[in-house]
Amino acid sequence: QNRTLINMESLVADCIAITIQRHNLPAENITLEPIPGVIRLYTQGIAEDLRTAVLNVLDNAVKYSPDGVHIRCSLAISNYTWIALRVTDTGVGLPANQFKRIFTRFYRVPGRAMAKIKGTGLGLFLVRNIAHQHGGEATATSPGPGLGTTISITLPLATPASSATPG
């Protein structure tokens, strides 16, 4: 397939714009923290698939925040090796024993808060598969029920050939 060098900052910004439009949200309700320095966060992969993954995570963040949506996205580099995208919402949150399960096929967290919100349980299964296809990973964490959720996608950092040329 079409593997290209992808600027994650602009891909995430595009997905945020799409999500804001789709859900008719005030623009300030989904923010992307500015990336420090002049570094460009590139990964190698299939842009269409990564867009699908990020849109699914943003869609969940909106959907599982029934009392008002405030989503903070950030991009960071770790170990000069990984790009980490974090999407933090102010929604229904998760108990620790669900952090892994929510990525399995057709799985939905049981309970009343979730039952009111429709879904098939496929979104995060797809997100994790796309992360794996890129040599990365998808994880979840939350301070607890009612306290919001953070979904992270880590992807290998790629260096554009031009800037990798010595001299």
Structure tokens at 32: 């992307």
- Establish if 124 lies at the interface with ligand ATP (CB under 6 A): yes
30 binds ligand ATP per the rule CB under 6 A? no
Give the nearer residue to ligand ATP in terms of CB position, either 93 or 136: 93
Rounded CA gap, 73 and 9, in Å? 10
According to CB under 6 A, which one of 120, 162, 163, 165 is a site residue for ligand ATP?
120
Report the site for ligand ATP in 58-87 (rule: CB under 6 A). Answer: 60-61, 64
Of positions 60, 65, 88, 142, contacts Mg ion by CB under 5 A: 60
Q: Is 53 in the site for ligand ATP (CB under 6 A)?
A: no
From candidates 51, 119, 129, 156, binder to ligand ATP by CB under 6 A:
119
Residue 123 lies near Mg ion (rule: CB under 5 A):
yes
Please say which residue, 42 or 125, places its beta carbon nearer to ligand ATP: 125
Rounded to 10 deg, the angle between the 8-22 and 47-63 helix axes is: 40
State the DSSP string of 130-148: HHHHTT-EEEEE-SSTTS-
Alpha-carbon gap, residue 64 to 90, rounded angstroms:
9
The CA distance from 56 to 53, in Å, is 5
Closest distance of CB 108 from ligand ATP, Å: 3
Report CA-CA distances (Å) from 68 to 32, 61, 62, 91. 18, 11, 8, 8
CA distance 50 to 133: 10
Residue from 11, 47, 102, 130 touching ligand ATP (CB under 6 A): that is 102
Least separation, in Å, of the C-beta of 162 and ligand ATP? 37
Question: Do residues 112 and 63 touch, judged by C-beta distance below 8 A?
Answer: no
CB of 135 to ligand ATP, least distance (A): 21
**What residue ranges bind Mg ion (CB under 5 A)?**
60, 123
